[in-house]
Amino acid sequence: MAGQNDHRVERTSLCNGTVGEFKVVKGVADGKIEQATAATEQSVCGVAQVSGVAADNIRTVVFGMTTAIAGAALDSTNAADFNLMVDAQGRLITWAGGAGTEYCVAQWVPSAAQPTAAADDQISVMFTGTIGHRA
């Protein structure tokens, strides 16, 4: 049976500042990463698997299934809640869709055990990054 690591791509990256566990990260100068702070950032490149501070090497999921942090309430009965963008704290919130400036970077994968989520809950997502997911 396949494990979770069979459904994602990870890499180790050097932190440029403080990054929270399961927070979305962006690429910055010299190939380093820092916590993402806006849905309009084109350089979103992963989800941190552990927390870190400047000069730490941390694992990030750059594509695939991972745990992330919800930034607002999500409900699996609301189709709009499945596409997600980054908030100012590196958490994932419902994508504004159609605004033209925010990037959809992940899709929420709810389960029977977690059909809803509240702000700051850990959620399962399919992280894709900013690969053409802009209205």
Name the residue with tokens 């590196």.
90
Q: Give the tens place of pLDDT for each residue, 94-109.
A: 998 766 788 999 999 9
Asked which of 29, 63, 97 is the last residue of a domain, the reply is: 63
Q: Is 87 domain-assigned? A: yes
Asked which of 63, 85, 114 is the last residue of a domain, the reply is: 63
pLDDT of residue 98: 66
Q: How far is it, in rounded angstroms, from Cα 47 to Cα 13?
A: 11
Q: Give the tens place of pLDDT for each residue, 46-59.
A: 999 999 999 999 99
Q: Is 135 domain-assigned? A: no
Asked which of 40, 63, 86 is the last residue of a domain, the reply is: 63
DSSP state of 104: P
Q: How far is it, in rounded angstroms, from Cα 4 to Cα 93?
A: 23
Q: Is 39 domain-assigned? A: yes
Q: Are residues 30 and 54 in the same domain?
A: yes
